[in-house]
């Protein structure tokens, strides 16, 4: 399926990182930015799911990594800089659900 032509958008040629881009809101967000003319780095844990997102538009590039890894933030930023030499927008959409009282949560989402 050919990619839609970008509209006259202020996102044209912007560099956008979307975490959680493998499905749902993240996938839709990555596609919307790409359609608006942005270069999108789609980030997520599942390479196959990210490949599905990237297949929606040629301006979406996948970067599989788990954002809770200690080195993930630096690796994601470096990947964007290696490709496009800048970052204009970050959509921090990655999420996980763990039902627990906030006082018991740790940085990785596990019980303290």
User: Which residues, other chains included, contact 32 with Cβ-Cβ below 8 Å and sequence gap of 6+?
Assistant: none
The stretch 89-105 carries a mean pLDDT of: 83
Cα dist from 84 to 13, 30, 45, 100, whole Å: 10, 16, 22, 40
Q: Which of 105, 34, 43, 40 is nearest to 73 (CA)?
A: 43
Domains (range + CATH), the chain: 15-104 (3.40.50.720)
- Per-residue pLDDT at 10: 85
- Per-residue pLDDT at 35: 95
- Altogether, the residues listed in the chain come to a count of 112
Q: Are 26 and 93 in contact (CB under 8 A)?
A: yes
pLDDT band at 106 (very low <50, low <70, confident <90, very high): confident
This prediction's pTM: 0.81
């Amino acid at each position: 399926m050919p990619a839609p032509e970008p509209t006259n958008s202020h996102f044209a040629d912007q560099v956008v990182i979307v975490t959680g881009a493998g499905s749902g809101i993240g996938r839709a967000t990555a596609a919307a930015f790409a359609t608006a003319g942005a270069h999108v780095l789609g980030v997520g844990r599942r390479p196959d799911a990210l490949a599905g997102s990237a297949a929606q538009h040629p301006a979406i590039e996948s970067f599989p990594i788990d954002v809770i890894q200690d080195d993930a933030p630096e690796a994601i930023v470096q990947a964007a800089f290696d490709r496009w030499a800048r970052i204009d927008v970050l959509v921090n959409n990655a999420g996980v659900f763990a039902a627990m009282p906030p006082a018991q949560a740790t940085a990785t989402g596990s019980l303290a």
